Amino acid sequence: MPLWIPVTIFAAFMQNLRFLLQRHLKVTTLSTGGATWARFLYSAPLVAVIVGVYATVSEQALPLPDGRFWAFVVSGGMAQMLATMCVVALFAHRNFAVGITLKKTEVILTALIGLVVLGEAVSPPIVAAIAVGFIGVLLLSDPPKTDVVLSWRARVFNVASGYGLASGVLFGISAVGYRGASLSLPDGDVFLRAAFTLAAATAVQTVTLGAWLAWRERGEIAKVLASWRVSGLVGLTSMLGSLGWFTAFTLQTAAYVKALGQIELVFTFLFSVFWLRERSSSKEIGGIVLIVASIGLIFLGSF
What digits encode the pLDDT tens for the residues 50-108? 999 999 999 999 999 999 999 999 999 999 888 878 877 776 665 555 555 666 667 77
Taking 60 as the threshold, does the pLDDT of residue 156 lie above it?
Answer: no
Taking 50 as the threshold, does the pLDDT of residue 151 lie above it?
Answer: no
pLDDT at 161: 66
Q: CB under 8 Å to 129, separation ≥6 — which residues?
A: 259, 294, 295, 296, 297, 298, 301
Higher pLDDT, 157 or 212: 212
pLDDT at 153: 44
Task: Give the pLDDT mean for 219-246.
Answer: 93
Distance CA 232, CA 239 (A): 11
The boundaries of the domain holding residue 133 are 4-300
Cα angle 198, 202, 207; round to 5: 155
How sure is the predictor about 282, in pLDDT bands with cuts at 50, 70 and 90?
confident
| Number of domains forming the structure of the chain | 1
Taking 90 as the threshold, does the pLDDT of residue 262 lie above it?
Answer: no
Taking 80 as the threshold, does the pLDDT of residue 232 lie above it?
Answer: yes
Taking 60 as the threshold, does the pLDDT of residue 158 lie above it?
Answer: no
pTM (predicted TM-score):
0.79
Taking 50 as the threshold, does the pLDDT of residue 152 lie above it?
Answer: no
Distance CA 221, CA 9 (A): 32
Task: Report whether 102 contacts 90 (CB < 8 A).
Answer: yes
For the chain, percent of residues with pLDDT exceeding 70: 79
pLDDT at 167: 81
Taking 70 as the threshold, does the pLDDT of residue 195 lie above it?
Answer: yes
pLDDT at 117: 74
The distance between the two most distant Cα atoms of the chain, rounded to a whole number of Å, is: 65
Q: Averaging pLDDT over each range in 34-48, 78-92, 148-162, which range is the top one?
A: 34-48
